[in-house]
Amino acid sequence: MNGGPSGFNNAPLTRAIIIASALFTVFFGLQGRSNKLGFSYLDVFQKPQLWKFIVSTYAFTSTPEMMFGLYLLYYFRVFERQIGSNKYSVFTLFSLTVSFFLGSVMLALLKDPSALITAGPYGLIFSSFVPFFFDIPVSTRFRVFGFHFSDKSFIYLAGLQLFLSSWKRSILPGICGIIAGSLYRMNIFYIRRAKLPEFIASLFSRLSWPSTGSPPSATGIRSVPNTSAPYAGRQVERNYPAPLVNSVEPTEDSIQMLVSMGFDQDSARQALVQARNDVNVATNILLEAQSH
């Protein structure tokens, strides 16, 4: 599973997070201050420093952690495309806040001044593994030396590497992130309905580099059944654009974007035809067909 050729198209918040993580990591690494990042019992309960909380949320403490962490953040941009930047902003804030709170509780229970939670957006990364496990389908399977693998295996292996990168320092925030992602999926306090104001997503979009967007969809809509190959025979009624008689052939970039989310190529092509080459609508068609 790859990130597709579309870069950060429809994922401005992910782009901002990745840039912030890279800049903070490199800056503090060049200054030799990476070992001062992270959270300890003293940092949280006795000598809190706001700058350290902010920087440690984004900066990794080593280059290998940064490489694996940024790769996973880049891949998980598929979720921002699926739910939109407004809701993904809530998911990001919820994941980072809840994982930090849970980590602080663990430090309070340990009361060990030497205990430390490593720096980096571990809460967001490992929260994203929850929807990755449940919502991203396997598109290919293969065997290596008698062991079964899928295209999702590489993402899990990268996550395992990051999870064990600093041993206890990274395992704790990883577990807290998984719990935060599970709480979000359980829709605690109806968090999945929440979204930030539109101007916030617009702000990230204005900061984005120029990218190629999907052609605008026409105004006429009607309820249509999904005809994607893996879900043939399942009637899914939604208000999606009616396919045009003389429909435009989906672009290869749009097809590969959906393939990078885990859908097979034929289903992606048919969904794009149905959605008039609107990637967001096509994604919703495939996900809703999968859930039925």
Tens digit of each residue's pLDDT (9 = 90 or more) over 202-249: 666 665 544 444 443 333 333 334 444 443 334 444 444 444 445 568
Structure tokens of 108? Answer: 């309070």
- DSSP state for residue 35 in the 8-state scheme: G
Per residue in 130-149, pLDDT tens?
999 998 888 788 898 888 99
Residue range 59-80: mean pLDDT, rounded:
94
Q: Domain ranges for the chain, please list them.
A: 12-207, 221-291
Q: How far apart are CA 24 and CA 30, in angstroms?
A: 10
Candidate from 32-36, 39-43, 207-211, 229-233 with smallest mean pLDDT: 229-233
- Please tell me the predicted confidence (pLDDT) of residue 215: 41
**240/275 Cα distance (integer angstroms):** 7
Distances (CA, A) of 137 to 5, 155, 242: 20, 13, 26
Please tell me the class of the 12-207 domain: mainly alpha
Number of neighbours of residue 183 by Cβ within 10 angstroms: 19
**Paired residues of 116 in beta bridges:** 40
**What is the DSSP secondary structure assignment for residue 225, as one 8-state letter?**
-
Residue range 156-190, pLDDT digits in tens: 999 999 999 988 899 999 999 999 999 999 999 99
* pLDDT 10s digits, 242-283: 444 455 688 888 888 888 777 888 888 888 888 888 877 787
Instruction: Enumerate the H helices of 46-167 as residue ranges.
Output: 50-58, 63-75, 77-83, 85-110, 122-135, 153-163
Cα–Cα separations (whole angstroms), residue 237 to 18, 52, 98: 37, 50, 36
Q: How many beta carbons lie within 10 A of that of residue 142, not counting itself? A: 10
Q: Identify the CA nearest to 93 among candidates 68, 65, 57, 135.
A: 57
Mean pLDDT rounded to a whole number for the chain: 81
CATH node for 221-291:
1.10.8
Contact in structure between 124 and 69 (CB atoms under 8 Å) = no
